[in-house]
Chains A and B, each alone.
Chain A
């Protein structure tokens, strides 16, 4: 069960951009094989609310259920149990309306690699009802702000570095002006400079465009740097949530790493390693 920490100082009425209630998702093996194939409970009764304008960070090791939750919230998976609402809309019943409000950036920048950033983004804009006449100047402006030179915008994406591709992925999400932006480990594998640029852009996005951001990471610094509130996921369960300071105060002080260790019984790096070494 999550340890709920309330922000007593805030009295204004909050709007839930995202409200998940007792969400569960399990994956069953495709076929029964002798000695293998067990059901994996990826998300096990998660309830959380992300308030409008907030940056909420889900922190957890590999395999803790972060990506499954993001995929559930982005309509790519349906929950086995529980309810998810985006700005009051049911994610299943009002799917199309929800899709207009959200966008997602995944750990892999997925594009048509032979197409340029401009071609990919014009296409993405069209899918969200943004005409090329409107999207082209916006794309140039966003990409410039993310540090991508004009000449690179028309090159096939496969010629751009991974960091640049990830920035284009963020631009794609930004282009649709989402009310709720789901970022699934957007900075994993990026160099320090690219990581910082993306983090700055994420914060600016919230501050300037009234976006609500749900971010998953297993980078403690990133969580502390960006998040208004942090939720710690462990084995598919939300075991604690609150600001970095609140978590520290309620779990014996120290750093976020110490809090993580107190709650999960291992350091985040160890948890990642153990998960990576687990036979699949």
Chain B
């Protein structure tokens, strides 16, 4: 049993090692994405710094600092969750383009192990990017973490990652089934999640018909809880109302996403779509 778990972990690690090797070889692109992440996060933070001048609101430095952190928590948490979401689909599309998709799916690796390995690789990358972006942004704008409850934030982030893994596996079905436009379909899903999850605003300002979508997005709870933890120092019991819905979405979305992926793989094999392109 333990040996089997060890063997599966070894197989899953193949995907982590592969992604690390690819990141090294594509280091210039990694820098591009990092700079892009820093610049967009910084732009969002400057909205908070410039808000009093635009709206004629209070110039109280404490309120401005709180607004900066409010937006930064949204943008960086979204970047973390968004990377998890994007990379699953992109990896499938990339493997299709390189032609390696046939060899990956032919290998004697259980699909669960394969997907968990890809998720682990994605998590490593997303975490590295998010920490680097936060550190870089903190050099330019005041980031007040004096009231932050880091433990709560980390637990929320981990929960959000789990919940997003299910969504990411489910959305990876698009590039698996649609060679040309599958990735674009996954991006549309991601964009809708961004809109309804209160990344830069409270979800209460959304039109009534849109708000039910915010209830099913795990990002809504993770970002709300992260703000409570980092702005107001909420402990685990205080963030629980945001923690359990995210856990619930994860508990539902992972088996559902996996089942969907397995169905899509069978369909792709039946229709001849499991092949290289380009």
Contact = CB atoms under 8 A, between A and B. Distances in A.
A166 interface: no
B97 to A, nearest CB: 10
Interface in B238-278: 266, 269-272, 274-276
Given A76-B274, A110-B102, A127 B107 contact: yes
B200 interface: no
A113 B276 CA distance: 14
Is the contact region of chain B dominated by helix, strand, or loop, or is it mixed?
helix
B90 to A, nearest CB: 14
B189 interface: no
Contacts, number: 90
B10 A126 contact: yes
Contacts of A71: 272, 275
Interface centre among A100, A108, A124, by most B CB within 10 Å?
A124
Interface string A108-144: 1011111100010011101111010000000000000
A108 B107 contact: no
A74 B266 contact: no
B13 A78 contact: no
Contacts of A249: none
Interface centre among B11, B17, B108, B276, by most A CB within 10 Å?
B108
Contact of B106 (A76, A78, A97): A76
A249 B14 CA distance: 51
Nearest to B25: A114
B14 A123 contact: yes
A78 B269 contact: yes
A27 B275 CA distance: 14
Given A96-B110, A110-B102, A127-B109, A115 B25 contact: yes
A106 interface: yes
A102 B106 CA distance: 9
Contacts of A27: 271-272
Nearest to B267: A78
B274 A99 contact: no
B266 A110 contact: no
Interface string A88-102: 000000001101101
Chain A interface size, as a band, is 20 to 34
A129 B7 contact: yes
Nearest to B99: A110
B22 A108 contact: no
B204 interface: no
A76 B102 contact: yes
A129 B18 contact: no
A112 B272 contact: no
A74 B98 contact: no
A115 B22 contact: yes
Given A124-B103, A126-B11, A127-B107, A108 B269 contact: no
Contact of B108 (A100, A111, A156, A172): A100
A276 interface: no
B25 A156 contact: yes
Interface string B73-113: 00000000000000000000000001110111111111000
Contact of B18 (A75, A104, A110, A112): A112
B142 to A, nearest CB: 40
Interface string B5-26: 0010011011001100110011
A76 B105 contact: yes
Given A124-B103, A128-B108, A114 B272 contact: no
Interface centre among A115, A124, A127, A129, by most B CB within 10 Å?
A127
A74 B105 CA distance: 10
B273 to A, nearest CB: 9
A3 interface: no
Given A127-B109, A129-B7, A111 B98 contact: yes
A99 to B, nearest CB: 4
Contacts of B272: 27, 71, 77
B11 A77 contact: no
Contacts of A114: 22, 25-26
Contacts of B270: 77-78
Contacts of B107: 99, 124, 127-128
Interface in B110-153: 110
Given A27-B272, A78-B266, A126-B17, 6 more contacts: A77-B270, A78-B269, A108-B99, A111-B98, A126-B10, A172-B103
Interface of A: 27-28, 71, 74-78, 96-97, 99-100, 102-104, 106, 108, 110-115, 119, 122-124, 126-129, 131, 156, 172
19 contacts: A28-B271, A71-B275, A74-B102, A74-B106, A75-B106, A76-B275, A77-B274, A78-B270, A99-B106, A99-B107, A100-B108, A103-B106, A110-B276, A112-B18, A123-B17, A126-B10, A127-B108, A129-B108, A172-B103
Interface of B: 7, 10-11, 13-14, 17-18, 21-22, 25-26, 98-100, 102-110, 266, 269-272, 274-276
